[in-house]
């Protein structure tokens, strides 16, 4: 039985080599038990990494046919279902290699990819303990110089330099001890400390681990406890100046482009974790007996299962969508990537919580496989940019949308045409995607939803368009009153509502049969029973999230002491989005109560 991410994806990339083989390998009883033991021991997953190397995992990072946003997303979803430690250890290669795809010279990129194909793993070294994600305050320095006749490094002006001497420490690095291809951000101009802006430049360098690179101790982490989260100290590490990735001084710009692409990829890790939570919780519900019957007979348990299915589906929908937009726009997909980063991580946390309530105390036992989901899911909201950082980007985009003039009559149709093209476009290599010069694309959700509503038979799209319009109206009111600029928490809540609307748009595009057909996508695959479960879960996800967005808008109005939106405007929207909540819940509850173990995805004894 496929997961929601696999079912929704317009391209069946999870069936390609090596992803299909990796999925089968990780689901064997032997490897499930091995991963469980490594997790309990907080041990680096070296045996599994070696096996993935044998299966060709490097192709997903260095082979143009597999190093695509879709393939990397499918791989991340598979890995996260098996182990958070393994998932981030492997997936960090995609992040770390992106700067090379974005800005490396052709000879540099070919060298890096050859090393990856030969088994080298990459890490990106940005953060320092004193400044965390404030990269403009990087203290690691790259001093320009040359090698004299005696082979000694001598400092000189940048214009005469042939080499750079790197000095400093990086901490909280994924792969900081074990990975050998190091992409290091260092200050190469300006003052010794302070901001790298206004003439003080930072550059990104490729450094091969060697004798002058000290390994710093591993940090013990709650999430992904077996991963190599450590650091590196550079003791006068001398590298050719041509090892710079991009031009000297462009390091921050390269990182910005990298993050515009990479942030959305975290959503696939979240989707895989949500899928694992749903599977384990469902299995437990049918295996656990209470008062002579399965606990799935209890209404509270079936409600948790219904929510877990709906949350996984919603998470997967936006994750798949961002992969399609990144595939077509590269760094121009920064808005959709940010929406997916925040929303999918939040949805996965909820899905894990629903499953935890099904398992009760067992979910907290170190010997039980569910406990690692409780820990792992906490990582994704801070990985590759915290939720607060991402919400800053989202509310900024929302303010831009609110400040726009009235949309052109054909804007919605143009967005529809573009989304259809993005979804149907074949997967493209990061070598192409990362160099795309598309401007950030922030389409109006309201006008796009109007166009979708006119083209499909889905009756709730107009209501969602009204809700998007209400969010823009509330934002304009808050900006005009000055509350927007004064209240960061309010702005963050507004950003959350925007991301949640994007979740429902993706759910309609990929989960509603008539909208998929309108966009030119293939029908969903599955047995009649699976497709029936899918339809009920789509309905429940839409009602669940729709009601939350309405509640969020009401909170914004009250918190801002604004009257730009009143209850009577939101009431009909809420009704249109949630009128069939009762029927969807009833259908799901009855399904889980009667389905029995035969309706479940088979699980091994170790999963139990």
pLDDT for 308 equals: 98
d(CA 221, CA 229): 8
Q: What is the mean pLDDT of residues 115-141?
A: 95
Torsion of CA 216, 220, 225, 231, to 10 degrees: -20
pLDDT surpassing 60 at residue 228? yes
CA angle 453, 456, 460 (to 5 degrees): 50
* Domain 105-245 classification at class level: mainly beta
CA distance 176 to 124: 8
153-155/202-208 β-pairing:
unpaired
Q: Could you read off the pLDDT of 467-494 as tens digits, one per residue?
A: 999 999 999 999 998 999 999 999 999 9
pLDDT tens, position by position, 167-189: 999 999 999 999 999 999 999 98
> If you compute the radius of gyration of the chain from its CA atoms, what whole number of angstroms results?
25
Taking the C-alpha atoms of residue 57 and residue 72, their distance in angstroms, rounded to an integer, is 10
Is there a contact between 338 and 326 (Cβ–Cβ < 8 Å)?
no
Once rounded to an integer, what is the mean pLDDT over residues 589-602? 65
What are the tens digits of pLDDT across the range 506-547?
Answer: 999 999 999 999 999 999 999 999 999 999 999 999 999 999
415 three-state secondary structure = helix
Report field, pTM of the whole predicted structure over 0.85: yes
Average pLDDT of the residues in 575-589:
96
Q: How confident is the model at residue 201 (pLDDT cuts 50, 70, 90)?
A: confident
End-to-end C-alpha distance for the chain, whole angstroms? 18
Please check the confidence at residue 131 and state whether its pLDDT lies above 60. Answer: yes
Buried b (16+ CB within 10 A) or exposed e, 350-372: bbbbbbbbbbeebbeeeebbbbb
- Tens of pLDDT, residue by residue over 250-294, are 999 999 999 999 999 999 999 999 999 999 999 999 999 888 888
Sketch the domain layout of the chain as residue ranges: 105-245, 387-598
Nearest to 597 by CA among 289, 341, 164: 289
Q: Are 234 and 168 in contact (CB under 8 A)?
A: yes
Supply the pLDDT for residue 408: 81
| DSSP summary character for residue 279 | H
- What is the mean predicted confidence (pLDDT) over 552-578? 85
Whether 387-598 and 105-245 are alike in CATH topology: the answer is no
3-state SS, 176-238, equals CCCCCEEEEEEECCCCCCCCCCCCCCEEEEEEECCCCEEEECCCCCCCCCCCCEEEEEEEEEE
Task: Return d(Cα 212, Cα 486) in angstroms, integer.
Answer: 48
Query: What pairing do the DSSP bridges indicate for beta strands 141-147 and 163-174?
Result: antiparallel
For residue 57, pLDDT over 60 is answered with yes
Q: Helix 106-117 to helix 84-103 angle, to the nearest 10 degrees?
A: 160
Would the pLDDT of 368 be above 70? yes
Mean pLDDT of 62-69: 98
Residues 6+ apart with CB under 8 A from 342: 381, 387, 390, 391, 394, 495, 496, 499
Single out the residue of 4, 100, 89, 98 nearest to residue 46, CA to CA: 89
pLDDT at residue 602, rounded to an integer:
41
Q: According to the CATH classification, is domain 387-598 in 3.30.750?
A: no
pLDDT classification of 595: cutoffs 50, 70, 90:
low
The reported pLDDT for the residue numbered 197 is 56
Q: Could you tell me the two tokens for 269?
A: 């890790």
**Within 13 A of 292's CA, how many CA atoms are on the CB side?**
0
pLDDT at 606 over 70: no
**pLDDT tens column, 401-445:** 999 988 887 899 999 999 999 999 999 999 999 999 889 999 999
- pLDDT of 194 > 70? The answer is no
Buried b (16+ CB within 10 A) or exposed e, 544-560: bbbeebbebbbebbeeb
**Secondary structure element (H or E) that encloses residue 309, with its range:** helix 299-329
Residues 6+ apart with CB under 8 A from 296: 285, 286, 302, 305, 592, 593, 595
Q: Taking 60 as the threshold, does the pLDDT of residue 193 lie above it?
A: no
Kindly tell me the burial class for residue 413, based on how many C-beta atoms sit within 10 Å of its own C-beta (0-12, 13-18, 19 or more).
middle
Q: What is the pLDDT of residue 314?
A: 99
Rounded Cα–Cα distance for residues 588 and 584 (Å): 6
**DSSP type of residue 156:** -
Residue 109 has what pLDDT?
A: 98
Task: Give which of 177, 200, 205 is closest to 189, Cα–Cα.
Answer: 200
On the question of pLDDT at 496 being above 80, the answer is: yes
User: For the chain, what is the mean pLDDT?
Assistant: 94
Lowest mean pLDDT among 25-39, 203-217, 585-599: 585-599
> How far is residue 337's CA from residue 73's CA, in Å, rounded to a whole number?
12
What three-state secondary structure class fits 509?
A: helix
In this predicted structure, what is the pLDDT of residue 407? 80
Give mean pLDDT, residues 321-345: 98
């Amino acid at each position: 039985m496929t997961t929601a991410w696999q079912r929704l994806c317009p391209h069946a990339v999870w069936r390609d080599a090596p992803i299909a083989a990796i999925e089968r390998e990780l689901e064997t009883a032997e490897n499930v038990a091995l991963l469980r033991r490594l997790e309990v021991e907080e041990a680096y997953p070296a045996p599994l990494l070696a096996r993935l190397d044998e299966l060709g995992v490097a192709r997903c990072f260095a082979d143009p046919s597999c190093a695509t946003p879709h393939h990397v997303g499918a791989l991340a979803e598979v890995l996260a279902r098996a182990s958070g430690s393994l998932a981030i250890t492997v997936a960090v290669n995609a992040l770390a290699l992106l700067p090379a795809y974005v800005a490396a010279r052709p000879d540099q990129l070919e060298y890096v990819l050859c090393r990856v194909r030969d088994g080298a793993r990459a890490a990106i070294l940005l953060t320092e303990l004193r400044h965390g994600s404030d990269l403009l305050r990087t203290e690691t320095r790259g001093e320009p110089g040359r090698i004299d006749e005696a082979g000694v490094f001598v400092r000189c002006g940048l214009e005469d330099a042939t080499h750079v001497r790197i000095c400093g420490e990086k901490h909280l690095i994924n792969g900081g001890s074990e990975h050998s291809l190091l992409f290091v951000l260092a200050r190469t101009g300006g003052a010794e400390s302070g901001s790298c802006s206004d003439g003080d430049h930072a550059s990104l360098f490729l450094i091969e681990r060697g004798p002058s690179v000290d390994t710093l101790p591993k940090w013990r982490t709650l999430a992904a406890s077996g991963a190599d989260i450590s650091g590196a100290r550079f003791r006068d590490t001398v590298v050719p100046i041509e090892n710079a990735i991009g031009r000297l001084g462009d390091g921050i710009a390269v990182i910005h482009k990298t993050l515009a692409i990479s942030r959305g990829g975290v959503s696939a890790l979240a989707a895989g974790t949500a899928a694992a939570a749903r599977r384990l919780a469902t299995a437990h519900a049918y295996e656990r007996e209470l008062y002579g019957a399965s606990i799935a007979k209890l209404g509270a348990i079936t409600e948790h299962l219904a929510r877990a299915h709906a949350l996984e589906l919603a998470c997967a929908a936006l994750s798949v969508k961002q992969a399609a937009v990144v595939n077509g726009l590269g760094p121009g997909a920064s808005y959709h990537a940010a929406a997916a980063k925040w929303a999918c991580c939040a949805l996965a946390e909820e899905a894990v919580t629903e499953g935890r309530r099904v398992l009760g105390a067992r979910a907290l036992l170190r010997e039980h496989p569910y406990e690692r989901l409780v820990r792992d899911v906490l990582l994704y909201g801070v990985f590759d940019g915290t939720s607060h950082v991402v919400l800053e980007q989202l509310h900024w985009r929302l303010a831009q949308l609110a400040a726009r003039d009235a949309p052109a009559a054909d804007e919605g149709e143009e967005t529809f045409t573009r989304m259809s093209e993005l979804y149907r476009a074949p997967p493209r290599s990061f070598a192409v995607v990362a160099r795309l010069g598309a401007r950030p694309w922030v389409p109006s959700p309201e006008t796009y939803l109007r166009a979708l509503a006119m083209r499909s038979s889905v009756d709730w799209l107009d209501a969602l368009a009204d809700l998007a319009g209400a969010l823009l109206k509330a934002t304009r009111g808050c900006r005009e009153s000055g509350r927007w600029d004064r209240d960061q928490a309010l702005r963050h809540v507004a950003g959350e509502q925007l991301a949640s609307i994007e979740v429902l748009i993706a759910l309609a595009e990929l989960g509603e049969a008539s909208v998929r057909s309108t966009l030119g996508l293939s029908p969903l695959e599955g047995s009649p029973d699976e497709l029936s479960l899918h339809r009920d879960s789509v309905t429940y996800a839409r009602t669940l999230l729709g009601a939350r967005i309405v509640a969020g808008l009401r909170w914004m109005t009250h918190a801002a002491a604004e009257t730009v939106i009143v209850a009577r405007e939101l009431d009909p929207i809420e009704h249109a989005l949630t009128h069939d909540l009762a029927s969807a819940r009833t259908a799901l509850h009855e399904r889980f109560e009667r389905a029995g173990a035969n309706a479940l995805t088979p699980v091994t004894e170790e999963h139990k």
